[in-house]
Amino acid sequence: MGDENETTLKRTPLDALHRAHGAKMVPFAGFDMPLQYAGGIIAEHRATRTGATLFDVSHMGQAAIRGDSPLAALEALVPGDLASLPVGGMRYTQLTNAHGGIVDDLMVTSVGEDYAFVVVNASRREADFALLGAGLDRLAVEELDRALIALQGPRAAEILVPLAPGAEELRFMSAAPFMVDGSAIAISRSGYTGEDGFEISIPAQDALRIAERLLQGGATLAGLGARDSLRLEAGLCLYGNDIDETTTPAEAGLGWSIGKRRREEGGFPGAEIVLAQLREGPVRRLVGILPEGRQPVRAHAEIRNTSDERIGEITSGGFGPTVGGPVAMGYVASAFADPDTAVTVILRDRPVPARVVKLPFVSHRYFKKH
Amino acid sequence: MNDLKYTREHEWVRMEGDVAVIGISAFAQEALGDVVFVELPEIGKSLKAGDQAAVVESVKAASEVYAPLAGEVVGVNEALNDDPSTVNSDPTGKGWFLKMKPSNPADFEALMDEADYRKFAEEQG
pLDDT tens sequence across B39-61:
999 999 999 999 999 999 999 88
pLDDT in the model for residue A29: 94
B47: CATH = 2.40.50.100
Average pLDDT of the segment spanning A6-33: 94
The span from the CA of B96 to the CA of B105, in Å, is: 19
State residue A302's pLDDT score.
98
B36 to A348: CB separation less than 8 angstroms, yes or no: no
Asked whether residue B119 is assigned to any structural domain, the reply reads no
| CATH node for A10-58+145-233 | 3.30.1360.120
> Are A318 and B33 within 8 A, CB to CB?
no
> A22 vs chain B: nearest CA distance in angstroms?
13
Instruction: Render pLDDT for A77-113 as a digit per residue (tens, 0 to 9).
Output: 999 999 999 999 999 999 999 999 999 999 999 999 9
Residues in chain B: 125
DSSP tag of B19: E
What domain count does chain B have? 1
Residue B121 inside a domain? The answer is no
Residue B113 lies in a domain: no
Do the domain assignments include residue B122? no
Does residue B46 sit within a domain?
yes
Give the residue extent of every domain in chain A. 10-58+145-233, 283-370
Mean pLDDT of the A303-325 span: 97
Does some domain include residue B81? yes
Q: ipTM value of the model?
A: 0.89
**How would residue B124 be classed by pLDDT, with cut points 50, 70 and 90?**
confident
Expressed as residue numbers, the domain containing B55 is: 4-104
* A1 has pLDDT over 70: no
Which residues from chain A sit within 8 angstroms of residue B124, using beta carbons? Answer: none
Cα-Cα end-to-end distance for chain A: 49
Report residue A141 CA to chain centroid gap.
Answer: 22
Question: Which residue in the set B37, B39, B60 is minimally distant from A225, CB to CB?
Answer: B60
Closest chain A residue to B82, measured at CA? A294
How far is the CA of A316 from the CAs of A136, A238, A252, A258, in angstroms? 33, 8, 13, 24
Of the candidate CATH numbers 2.60.40.60, 2.40.30.110, 2.120.10.30, 2.102.10.10, the domain formed by A283-370 belongs to 2.40.30.110
pLDDT-derived band at B2, boundaries 50, 70, 90? low
Tens of pLDDT, residue by residue over A256-282, are 999 999 999 999 999 999 999 999 999
Band (A4; pLDDT cuts 50, 70, 90): very low
Evaluate the omega torsion of the peptide bond into residue A291 and state whether it is cis, within 30 degrees of 0.
Answer: no
Report the gap between the CA of A212 and the closest CA in chain B (Å). 26
Q: Which of A295, A298, A321 sits opposite B39 (nearest CB)?
A: A295
B122 vs B115: CA distance, rounded Å = 11
Shortest distance, CA B111 to any CA of chain A (angstroms) = 26
d(CA A259, CA A273): 16
- The mean pLDDT of chain A is 96
CA A209 – CA A365 distance, rounded (Å): 29
Testing the interface with B: which of A294, A297, A350 to mutate, by most B Cβ within 10 A? A294
A319 CB neighbours in chain B (<8 A) are 36-37, 57, 59
The verdict on a CB contact (< 8 Å) between B34 and A42 is yes
pLDDT at A6: 52
Contact yes or no for A295 and B59 at CB 8 A: no
Average pLDDT in the A176-202 region? 97
Chain B residues touching A298 at Cβ < 8 A: 61-62
pLDDT at position A3 is 45
Q: In angstroms, what separates the C-alpha of A262 from chain B's closest C-alpha?
A: 38
Which of B27, B38, B57, B59 to mutate to probe the A interface, most A CBs <10 Å? B59
Q: How high is the pLDDT of residue B45?
A: 97
Q: Looking at the domain assignment, is residue B116 inside a domain?
A: no
C-alpha to C-alpha distance for A200 and A58, rounded to whole angstroms? 10
What is the structure's pLDDT at A7? 63
**Rounded Cα distance, B31 and A233, in Å:** 24
Res. A2: pLDDT tops 70: no
Among candidates A151, A150, A97, which has minimal Cα distance to A124? A97
CA distance B31 to chain A (A): 9
A370 pLDDT exceeds 70? Answer: no
pLDDT digits (tens, 9 = 90+) for A47-73: 999 999 999 999 999 999 999 999 999
Q: Which residues, 6+ apart, have CB-to-CB distance to A178 below 8 Å?
A: A164, A166, A167, A184, A185, A186, A187
